[in-house]
Structure 1
Amino acid sequence: MPTQSVEATPDTRGAALPGFAVAAIREEGKWRCVQLDPVALVDLDAAITALRAQRSTGAVLGLLDVDDEFFVLLRPSPGGVRMLISDAAAALDYDVAADVLDLLRVELPPDDDVLDDPWPEGDLGIVSDLGLPADELEILVEDLDLYPDEQLDTIARRCGFAAELDELVNS
């Protein structure tokens, strides 16, 4: 399976990347997780379309662990999509990250030194109604000692679907 490194060209459309793309769906107080097509790791539109196809009266949350480098949370709503990317600087190397910044209308700073340190961008309150307040999510996202899959596992645990996520990702 081809992978992308930091030195790779930013054009990853159609390429497979390590990681996982999962939809966590809550209905009638119970969570279930479903695997999304791996193309969601390289194509934000495909990820959003796949999440919108998960018809639910409850919460739908997309979790993308892209190449063990960063993660993206997506939450479709009638008015659009709420998003959070754990490292906006990943937009230099990954199309899906650049697409997130485009939708958020955020530009990378021109100073290359600023891009050396990862920083989150987007809606830190994306899962506050599910049990993880924005200030705690910000601390979690900025913890450089954790890999993206570990951060997503913590998010899942706090929101109440860690067992479902672990079963799907580790099967």
Structure 2
Amino acid sequence: MAEREPVHGFGVAVVREDGRWRCDPMDEAVLGDLDAAVGELRAIRSTGAVFGLLAVDDEFFVVVRPSPAGVAVLLSDAAAALDYDLAADAIDLLRAEVPEDTDEVWPAGSLDVLADLGLPAPELQVIVDEVDLYPDEQLAMVAQRVGFGDEFTRVLDRLA
């Protein structure tokens, strides 16, 4: 496989425990490898919700939510699998196809990945469809809607 350009972006681990949200930066390795993201999230010990929000190269985002039953994933743009290992890993995990029409945004995966936390699939679809926004802006909308917007912003400010 050809050497790839460095991937830019961020990963944020989100934890809800005892009614409180906590956000922590993830290792940059998660931007190139879905297994690294899942492993890092599974290592977080919590009785509450644990998931990751990853934004890659101002191109797409991924929501990763491991559970004992498996891993729920939402890839905001399936066509990103043509250029990014993380997106290709997500497509493989989902057993999905890369769309032939790469001019439109086609999400892949579970739009209801955060439904139990207050973000139903139709609302997440609206956020995914906001193609004029960068992935970090879309994820900030997710964070605001679910209720950890301030914590998410603090982590992004530290990463900047």
Whether 1:40 aligns to 2:27 is no
Could you tell which deviates more after superposition, 30-39 or 16-25?
A: 16-25
- Choose from 31, 39, 47 the match for 1:49: 39
Q: Between Structure 1 and Structure 2, how many residues are aligned?
A: 158
- Pairwise CA RMSD of aligned residues? 1.4
- Alignment of 1:85 with 2:75, yes or no, is yes
Question: What is aligned with 2:132?
Answer: 145
Q: TM-score, normalised by structure 1?
A: 0.88
Runs (4+) of structure 1 exceeding 3 A deviation are: 9-12
Structure 2 unaligned spans of 5+ = none
Partner of 2:88: 98
Quick check: 1:11–1:95 contact (8 Å CA) kept in 2?
no
Q: Which amino acid aligns with 1:151?
A: Q
**Per-residue Cα deviation, 1:119-153 (whole angstroms, up to 9, x for no partner):** 11100001111111100111110111111101100
1:118 pairs with 2:108: no
TM-score (norm 2): 0.94
Q: Distance in 2 between matches of 1:107 and 1:11?
A: 24
Within 1, Cα distance between the matches of 2:2 and 2:91? 14
Displacement after TM superposition at 1:116 (Å) = 1.7
Do the aligned partners of 1:69 and 1:148 also contact (CA within 8 Å) in 2?
yes
Partner amino acid for 2:108? E
Kindly report which structure 2 residues correspond to 1:148-163, keeping only aligned pairs within 5 A, or say none: 148-163=135-150
Separation of aligned partners in 2, 1:50 and 1:153: 21
